[in-house]
Chain A
Amino acid sequence: MYAIIAGAGKVGRNLSRELISKGHEVTLIESSRACYLAIEEEFEHAVQYGDATELWVLERAGIQRADLVIAVTGDDEDNILVCQVAKEKYLCDRIIARVNNPRNHDTFKLLGIQPAVSATDLILRLIEHEVPRYGLVHLLALEEERLEIIELEVTDDAPTVGEKVTDIALPEGSLIISVLRGGSGFVPKHDTVIEAGDEVLLVLDPGLEDAITAYFAPNGHAATV
Chain B
Amino acid sequence: MFVLIVGAGRVGSALAKAALAAGHEVSVLDADPLSHERLDAGQSKSWEEAHGQFTVGTALETEALVQAGIERADVFIASTAGDNTNLVIAQIAQRRFGVEQVIVRVMDPARADWYGEQGLKTISPTKHAIEMFERALQPKAA
Binding site for B on A (CB under 8 A): 53-56, 75-78, 80-81, 85, 88-89, 101, 103-104, 106-107, 110-111
In the complex the two chains form, what is the Cα distance from A154 to B127 in whole Å?
A: 65
Instruction: With A77-B85, A81-B84 as known contacts, state yes or no: A107 contacts B92, CB within 8 Å.
Output: yes
Report the tally of A-B residue pairs with Cβ distances under 8 A.
44
Binding site for A on B (CB under 8 A): 60-62, 82-85, 87-88, 91-92, 95-96, 108, 110-111, 114, 118
In the complex the two chains form, what is the Cα distance from A97 to B104 in whole Å?
A: 24
Q: Are B88 and A81 in contact (CB under 8 A)?
A: yes
Q: Are A89 and B60 in contact (CB under 8 A)?
A: no
CB-CB under 8 A from B60, the residues of chain A are: 76-77, 101, 104, 107
Q: Which one, A53, A89, A111, contacts B83 given CB within 8 A?
A: A53
Q: Are A77 and B84 in contact (CB under 8 A)?
A: yes
Specify the chain B residue showing the minimal Cβ separation from A106: B62
User: Knowing that A55-B111, A88-B118 are A-B contacts, what are 6 other residue pairs whose CB atoms are under 8 Å apart, sorted by A's residue number?
Assistant: A55-B110, A75-B84, A80-B84, A107-B60, A110-B92, A111-B95
Where chain B touches its partner, the secondary structure class is helix
Q: Are B61 and A111 in contact (CB under 8 A)?
A: no
CB-CB under 8 A from B88, the residues of chain A are: 76-77, 80-81, 107, 111
CB-CB under 8 A from B82, the residues of chain A are: 77
CB-CB under 8 A from A55, the residues of chain B are: 110-111, 114
Instruction: With A85-B114, A111-B91 as known contacts, state yes or no: A53 contacts B96, CB within 8 Å.
Output: no
CB-CB under 8 A from A101, the residues of chain B are: 60
Report B136 CB to chain A, min CB distance, Å.
26
Interchain Cβ contacts under 8 Å between A and B, 30 examples:
A53-B83, A54-B111, A55-B111, A55-B114, A56-B110, A75-B84, A76-B60, A76-B88, A77-B82, A77-B87, A78-B84, A80-B84, A81-B84, A81-B87, A81-B88, A81-B111, A85-B114, A88-B118, A89-B114, A101-B60, A104-B60, A104-B61, A107-B60, A107-B88, A107-B92, A110-B91, A110-B95, A110-B96, A111-B88, A111-B95
Report A76 CB to chain B, min CB distance, Å.
7
Q: Which one, B61, B95, B118, contacts A103 given CB within 8 A?
A: B61
In the complex the two chains form, what is the Cα distance from A76 to B88 in whole Å?
A: 10
CB-CB under 8 A from A75, the residues of chain B are: 84
In the complex the two chains form, what is the Cα distance from A87 to B82 in whole Å?
A: 21
Report B123 CB to chain A, min CB distance, Å.
18
CB-CB under 8 A from A56, the residues of chain B are: 110
In the complex the two chains form, what is the Cα distance from A75 to B111 in whole Å?
A: 18
Q: Are B95 and A54 in contact (CB under 8 A)?
A: no
In the complex the two chains form, what is the Cα distance from A78 to B62 in whole Å?
A: 18
CB-CB under 8 A from B114, the residues of chain A are: 55, 85, 89
CB-CB under 8 A from B118, the residues of chain A are: 88
In the complex the two chains form, what is the Cα distance from A56 to B113 in whole Å?
A: 13
In the complex the two chains form, what is the Cα distance from A134 to B33 in whole Å?
A: 42
In the complex the two chains form, what is the Cα distance from A110 to B88 in whole Å?
A: 10
Specify the chain A residue showing the minimal Cβ separation from B63: A103
Specify the chain A residue showing the minimal Cβ separation from B59: A77
CB-CB under 8 A from A111, the residues of chain B are: 88, 91, 95
CB-CB under 8 A from A89, the residues of chain B are: 114
CB-CB under 8 A from B85, the residues of chain A are: 77
